[in-house]
Structure 1
Amino acid sequence: MTIATADLYDERGDDLDSVSTQFLDLGGREAFDGPVRTIRCHRDNGLVKQILATAGEGAVLVVDGGGSLASALMGDLIAASAVRCGWAGVIIVGAVRDRAALAELPLGIKALGSNPRKSAKDGVGEVDVPIRIGDVTVHPGRHLWADRDGILVER
């Protein structure tokens, strides 16, 4: 059972960063946590597809899409692959698509919005690099907790 982020912050606030950027909750799991993997990409979901097709082992993929809502970085097929491969959740600083299908999957999904437009699939970007969401730096390997109240990340 995942602890509520508000309770966790009350217990361990000095060890955690709270992401102030507001995300939509779009997956079938509202609360999720796990070690972080990261991708930085812009309007190209080739790396997202590739990484989510590997063993997730309860990890959370954080995707820095630069905040672009011009095209989706994940849809139902990629998200279903993440479920099959054991990922706990995906946080996208950008857009997704297939919202109705995403809501039915047992996967935590947070994103800034949605757009039915596909992205490029060239695999351009960086994997497992520190990324910033607002004023918080998210480091690969650190633990992340997310629920309806927000996102906490180990410092």
Structure 2
Amino acid sequence: MKDLLPDLCDLYPEQLQIADAIFTSYGKRCHFYGQVVTVSCFEDNSRIRELVNENGKGKVMVIDGGGSKRRALLGDMLAEKAVNNGWEGFVIHGAIRDVAAQSQLNIGIHALCAHPMPTEKRGLGDIGRTLRFAGISVSQGDYIYCDLNGIAVSKQPLALP
């Protein structure tokens, strides 16, 4: 296991935004990174369901669920589709479910908490918007780096130590 963020913070302190320490790591991958694809949705994972079916190689889905802890935006079936389509991971300002199953999938997942209730599927949500939560601003195309130390965002890709 490697500590990625401390090294990046030592090398690029002026280029990084560091998220508030409110997330828990749930995926099998303890560290992951990639180019950001943003989703804004509230208690409706319809847009997430669409995106996990696309090629996610080198990408991390960053989801602003409004901080809701009442409905899980990601379950094991969607996470498994994401793995099969090459996604690096998820950062979710909201809840997930099927924690035991997702902990066995080779993907990174940072979320606020777990909650067993699924979302409603109403076709709501936006892809590609700039998101603001946890003290950071994340835009489509930014780069995100995650490990057990936290989450960092950069406008440019960074050379890894």
Category of TM-score, reference length = shorter chain:
over 0.9
Counterparts in 2 of 1:1-155, with a 5 A limit?
Answer: 4-155=4-155
Unpaired stretches in structure 2, ≥5 consecutive residues: 156-161
* Aligned 8 A contact 1:35 1:58 in 2: yes
Unpaired stretches in structure 1, ≥5 consecutive residues: none
Count how many residue pairs are aligned between Structure 1 and Structure 2. 155
Q: Per-residue deviation at 1:21?
A: 3.8
Q: Which amino acid aligns with 1:100?
A: A
The two structures have a TM-score, normalised by structure 2, of 0.93
CA distance in 1 between partners of 2:64 and 2:2 (Å): 24
CA distance in 2 between partners of 1:127 and 1:3 (Å): 30
Q: Give the 3-state SS of the residue equivalent to 2:67 in structure 1.
A: coil
CA distance in 2 between partners of 1:23 and 1:88 (Å): 17
What does the per-residue CA deviation read over 1:80-135, in whole Å, with 9 as the maximum and x for residues that have no partner? 00000000000110000000000000000010001111101122011011001222
CA distance in 1 between partners of 2:68 and 2:50 (Å): 20
Q: Which amino acid aligns with 1:102?
A: Q
Q: Give the 3-state SS of the residue equivalent to 1:15 in structure 2.
A: coil
Q: Which amino acid aligns with 2:67?
A: G
Moved over 2 A (4+): none
CA distance in 2 between partners of 1:126 and 1:114 (Å): 23
* Aligned 8 A contact 2:3 2:149 in 1: no
CA distance in 2 between partners of 1:59 and 1:86 (Å): 8
CA distance in 2 between partners of 1:153 and 1:25 (Å): 17
CA distance in 1 between partners of 2:55 and 2:26 (Å): 22
Higher helix share: 1
* Aligned 8 A contact 2:22 2:134 in 1: no
Matched residues, percent identical? 37
Q: Per-residue deviation at 1:38?
A: 0.5
